[in-house]
Structure 1
Amino acid sequence: MVSKSTRRPIVLAAIMIAMFMSAIEATIVSTAMPSIVSDLGGFSSYSWVFSAYLLMNMATTLIYGKLSDLYGRRPIFIIGVVIFLIGSTLCGFATSMETLIAFRFLQGLGAGAVMPIASTIVGDMYTKEERAQIQGYLSSVWGISAVLGPALGGFFVEVLSWHYVFWMNIPLGVLAIIVVGLYLHEEVDNRKREIDYLGSVWLVISLSALMFILVEGGIHIPWSSSRMFTLIGIFSIGMFLFIRQERKATEPMMPFELWKERSITISNLGALTTGAMLIGVSSFLPAFVQGVMERSATVAGFTLTTMSIGWPIAATIAGRLLLKIGYRKTSLFGGIALIIGAIFFVTLSLERGPIWAACGSFFIGIGMGLMNTSFIVSIQSTVSWKLRGIATASNMFMRNLGSALGAALLGGILNSRLHAYIQNSGLGSELSINDTNVLLDAKQRAQMSEQMKSVLQEGLTISLHTVYWGVFLFACISFFLVIFMPISDKQGGETGR
């Protein structure tokens, strides 16, 4: 438990710094991706830059959550941030898409501790009523990163280089480590500890196979090939062994009894679908704005900025609504906003311009702020301190799982549709998916023939619209799920102070 000697305001500031580092990472990398692909090449590996990060983030979140319940929040948080900073530094030195993806794996390995442990620390320090209020303050971090992220991303890309989008994490992470190390004090039960490492291994193996299936299926790995059947077998066996391991483990990485609480089940499934939505918007919107609309990286960043502005506004409102109308109604309002935002993206076109895309992002942000705040506060108010770390981590895990699967699935759809369009255009012998790199660089685009540019832009437009229909489907599922959230939420849970 958190000791009374903990300096809550100072630790909260450090938590906000860590969350800012994570939030700005998402907006800057998404904004810079077209420039990164233009420099390093490998458009067909576009989604792997996100998938690699999300895979390791997702696979380690539950481990960090369990370790924080056993060893305390402070040491696990610091270890995670250190690994994250090492990965960030190496990402800035990447010289090819392959090395960037490899370093993103390392960065994701550390990121698995940042958001869930930061959120758990807040849950430890504050009561249920205070959490609802404090979540609004924490979400203001997203607003600040929304303003600075795309602006800095555009500045680094156009004035310096994309390498700085990774290196800027270093001072932020170091500051968060120092403050948490000095001012967060805990009282940890020194009992015998057993960590479910085997469960994590089976989970990583099975989900890695699934992501290869979704991203490469029909492109580099034919659906009817022996490699595809092998991957399907690995996924199936790995998932079976993971479930079996969790059922018999003394300290399971994913305690299935948590899912007996309906509020936790709905919150986690909702986090899964909203995570897929989030990656579908943030990963691929800059490619549409720069490749199809032929706008700058700064304009592309602006279209994502509105989502990060809408998020903290809604989260602040949610903190008050939760105490007045409950988790279910607050989440339903969020679900409606997600559907509205998805409709904007389904109807997005060259003629409608970046303002239309920005409006869609804003509504998505409103929906995310309302729903995710409700999910976190509901879960943390349902369990005690001893389970709060893994319970919070389970929700973060499901959101990361949704983002990872969403990046793989939607990226696979994008590649498949674009590949098919190029082949049917009559220019299949002259163009490939990787030629889309040229669309993302204004100078190279100007040197391309009108026919080739037209084929690539039309193919990218059709492919991205298919992706946005997927986003719309996830929005509808999210709304449907929260209908089944308990009307009367459990008021359990202890503050840990």
Structure 2
Amino acid sequence: MQLHSIINKKKQTRRPLVLVALILSMFMAAIEGTIVATAMPNIVADLGGFSLYSWVFSAFLLMQAVTILIFGKLSDLYGRKPIYVIGVVIFLIGSILCGLAPTMTLLVIFRIIQGIGAGAVQPIITTMVGDMYSIKERAKIQGYLASVWGISSIAGPLFGGFIVKFADWAWIFWLNIPLGILGLIGVILFFHEEVSKEKKTIDYTGASLFFISVSALIIVLVQGGTAWHWNSIPIISLLSLFILGFSLFLWQEHRAKTPMMPLHLWKNKLITIANLITLISGMIILGLSSFLPTYVQGVMGYSPIIAGFTLSTMSIGWPIASTTAGHLVLKIGFRPTAILGGIALVTGGTLFMFLEPGNGPIYAGFSSFVIGLGMGLTSTTFIVAIQNSVDWKTRGAATSLTMFMRIIGSATGTAILGGVLNQRMNQLLEKQDASLAVANTDILLNDTARNQLDPALLATMEQTLAEAMHAVFIGLFILGLIAFLLSSFFPEIKQKKQK
């Protein structure tokens, strides 16, 4: 009996140690977005392939979006630990390969591997926290995880700037290795669970249809107007594939026993408006993170560290607004707080629309800060409102759907704004000199090659990139305006006392 008690004691989860491991893993996954964005100008300068710029982000986020719901289902079937371990291992393999990538094409392929791993890491961490802690404890623990996102968002651009300044850009990816290993050790040794033998079906058909249709759409958005004309056979074929694939996806989700995306949630007006704004805000944040460093370095001529600063201010505004939103929803309600978030997003978009090279990085940093305020106000308001509007049985599905929409928004946002940038760049270069190509933009991001350019040619190329980037910033303004307009339709909610 005593031996049996000792064995059971050994199998108990040591929550503090597991929590530390999960926080390290969350930091590893969270920092990936901003740290890579800051280093991209240097990566492009080394590997070339500026036309594939947006694919480095879109490939990662697309695979994460497609796999995040599938891994969540697998964790119900096989347990949290094995899926978590598989996800971290895949993520680390992708990280190692990304650092070794000799070309931009291979870097995109290796980012796909990273994205698959990330699709398991983030949702499983959230699920494991829910398994380990009671309802009262979860609020505090989720606060820890939220702070990890805030810290990583601030540290990412700064770490990225320092690494590319004083070391090889490969360390941007290899930084994940010690964090991932420590996370694996903590979970493997100290997390224990009892896995249910109940069989659950996975909507592989729906996931496949969604992957095919969305992939076709993103290829159209990135390649349209640059590699292929909008009326070309590849574009028309891919658009047809998207329409057919997405139609079949919706049909499959209606008939699936456990659909990848529960469509009945869209009948709730609150959830629909919140998820649409979440989709748009995802497009804004990744679009800004992807292209602002290039503008600060290639057009303004500042260092990667300064470029990192202009992004880090957004990450400062986000947690501040998130904390404030938690108090505002109790004092003035969900709808007014959501509208305030929409106002901040459209204000930030307006500031970026008027961004010029002479404004300097402080102006760009302040504009990012305002965008961060909008993100914090909307994200916190929506997640709390959604969770309060559904019962316990559907709360997990509703919450994961919101996370899914943000990821999809991030993937499509970089593709759309990247397509706008490439198309506008080609139009401007064709007017000035037919011998120039988008690839020549790489020179502006390489300090040595930049200093060797004729001053007149350098000024011309900087002006061209500035005008092309202005089209991207107009796109950010339009997205912010749509978010604000949608927020005005967000329904008023009567707060319920929770038991």
TM, length-normalised to structure 2: 0.91
The CA distance in 2 between the partners of 1:381 and 1:126, in whole Å, is 20
Letter in 2 for 1:109: I
Letter in 2 for 1:486: P
Look up the SS of the partner of 1:351 in the other structure: helix
**What is the 5 A alignment of 1:66-465?**
66-122=73-129, 135-186=142-193, 189-383=196-390, 387-425=394-432, 427-429=433-435, 431-465=436-470
Q: Is the contact made by 2:346 and 2:483 (CA closer than 8 Å) also made in structure 1?
A: no
The superposition leaves residues 411-464 of structure 1 with CA deviations (integer Å, 9 ceiling, x where unpaired) of 000000010000011x122x1001000000111011112333222211211111
The CA distance in 2 between the partners of 1:136 and 1:321, in whole Å, is 17
The CA distance in 2 between the partners of 1:260 and 1:7, in whole Å, is 41
The CA distance in 2 between the partners of 1:356 and 1:137, in whole Å, is 31
How many angstroms does 1:493 deviate by? 9.2
Letter in 2 for 1:333: L
How many angstroms does 1:139 deviate by? 2.8
Look up the SS of the partner of 1:485 in the other structure: coil
The CA distance in 1 between the partners of 2:280 and 2:144, in whole Å, is 25
Q: Cα gap change, 1:184/1:342 in structure 2, threshold over 3 Å: closer, same or farther? A: farther
The CA distance in 1 between the partners of 2:382 and 2:130, in whole Å, is 13
The CA distance in 2 between the partners of 1:200 and 1:9, in whole Å, is 35
Letter in 2 for 1:311: W
The CA distance in 1 between the partners of 2:213 and 2:149, in whole Å, is 32
Letter in 1 for 2:90: I
How many angstroms does 1:259 deviate by? 2.0
Q: Is the contact made by 2:158 and 2:312 (CA closer than 8 Å) also made in structure 1?
A: no
Q: Cα gap change, 1:211/1:472 in structure 2, threshold over 3 Å: closer, same or farther? A: same
Q: Is the contact made by 1:290 and 1:300 (CA closer than 8 Å) also made in structure 2?
A: yes
| Alignment size in residue pairs | 489
The superposition leaves residues 370-402 of structure 1 with CA deviations (integer Å, 9 ceiling, x where unpaired) of 211222333344455654444332112111111
Q: Is the contact made by 1:132 and 1:319 (CA closer than 8 Å) also made in structure 2?
A: no
The superposition leaves residues 202-228 of structure 1 with CA deviations (integer Å, 9 ceiling, x where unpaired) of 111111110111000011111121111
Query: In the alignment, does 2:491 pair up with 1:486?
Result: yes
How many angstroms does 1:194 deviate by? 0.8
Q: Is the contact made by 2:13 and 2:192 (CA closer than 8 Å) also made in structure 1?
A: yes
How many angstroms does 1:163 deviate by? 0.1
The CA distance in 2 between the partners of 1:53 and 1:170, in whole Å, is 18
Q: Is the contact made by 1:54 and 1:401 (CA closer than 8 Å) also made in structure 2?
A: yes
The 10-residue stretch of structure 1 (373-382 or 404-413) with the greater mean CA deviation from structure 2 = 373-382
How many angstroms does 1:472 deviate by? 1.2
The CA distance in 1 between the partners of 2:126 and 2:215, in whole Å, is 27
Match of 1:477 in 2: 482
The CA distance in 2 between the partners of 1:489 and 1:417, in whole Å, is 47
Higher Cα Rg, which structure: 2
How many angstroms does 1:74 deviate by? 3.9
The 10-residue stretch of structure 1 (476-485 or 460-469) with the greater mean CA deviation from structure 2 = 476-485
Q: Cα gap change, 1:91/1:8 in structure 2, threshold over 3 Å: closer, same or farther? A: same
How many angstroms does 1:189 deviate by? 4.5
Q: Cα gap change, 1:328/1:66 in structure 2, threshold over 3 Å: closer, same or farther? A: farther
The superposition leaves residues 14-35 of structure 1 with CA deviations (integer Å, 9 ceiling, x where unpaired) of 3432332222211210110000
The 10-residue stretch of structure 1 (172-181 or 42-51) with the greater mean CA deviation from structure 2 = 172-181
List alignment gaps of at least 5 residues for structure 2: 1-11
How many angstroms does 1:114 deviate by? 2.7
How many angstroms does 1:350 deviate by? 0.9
TM, length-normalised to structure 1: 0.91
Q: Percent identity?
A: 53
